[in-house]
Amino acid sequence: MRSYGQFCPVARAVDVLGDRWTMLILRELLIRDSRYSDLRDALPGIATNLLAERLRQLESDGLVERVGLPRPASAAAYRLTDRGRAVEPVIHALAQWGAPLLSPGQGDDAFRSHWLRLAAPLLLDGTDLAQLEGLTVLVRTGDAPVLFVVEAGRLDVRPAPSPCSAEVEMSGEPSALLDFLRTGGGPGVTVTGAAEAVRAWRDVLARSRTPAG
């Protein structure tokens, strides 16, 4: 991208981060280290040459590094450097601001379950997870099941192993499921498991909180 040519911290940041796709590539690498094809799968519509060029640029800007083998080799992955990981507050602020834009529903948009790793803790921001310590929730939606684990007062989201047992199981369309995470109710989501754990989970989700965004 052409520089804005402004001696201003915002402009200098956007010079580096403002290219098309760049922020979404960083989102992916914030969620997990990824191989080239992982990124391509998580970014439907990106042209392969663009992905390659963005990664090169991010590497030369010091936000991303290749881990594994040197340049001409396979099975390597991309990972954020410390400087790249420092973009996290920007991504989080964007996600907070963008959360209300999910309300119109999914439409024809793509969805990947691992995005919940970023979105779910955000949607639960302001809830009190202390009483759920240790709870596990298996979530079936999108392309692959994921496992919610409450630990240290935080919600962590990881790929679900198979087989996988959890105290609570939820399933439904991504759109319904995100509504459910925000409100603790709504149609289109099936919740099963031990009655007490289910009840505690729904209670926490239904608790009033600062509205996201």
Partner DNA sequence: CCGGATCCACTAGGATACTG
Partner DNA sequence: CAGTATCCTAGTGGATCCGG
Pairing of strands 168-172, 136-140: parallel
* 24: contact with DNA by CB under 7 A: no
CA atoms within 13 A on the CB side of 145: 17
Tell the smallest beta-carbon distance from residue 121 to its own copies (Å): 12
Phi-psi region at 28: left, alpha or beta (left = phi > 0; alpha = psi -120 to 50): alpha
CB of 87 to DNA, least distance (A): 18
Distance CA 152, CA 71 (A): 39
State the number of CA atoms in the 13 A half-sphere of 55 facing the CB.
Answer: 23
Binding site for its own copies (CB under 8 A): 1, 3-18, 20, 23-24, 27, 44-45, 86-87, 89-99, 101-102, 106-112, 115, 118-119, 122, 174-175, 213
**Considering CB distances under 5 to 8 angstroms, the limit depending on partner class, which of its own copies, DNA, none binds residue 184?**
none
Query: Of 69 and 86, which CB lies nearer to its own copies in the complex structure?
Result: 86
> From CA 48, how far away is CA 99, in angstroms rounded?
29
The least CB distance from residue 83 to its own copies, in Å, is 9
Considering beta carbons, is residue 96 or 200 the nearer one to its own copies? 96
| Shortest distance in whole angstroms from residue 164 CB to DNA | 23
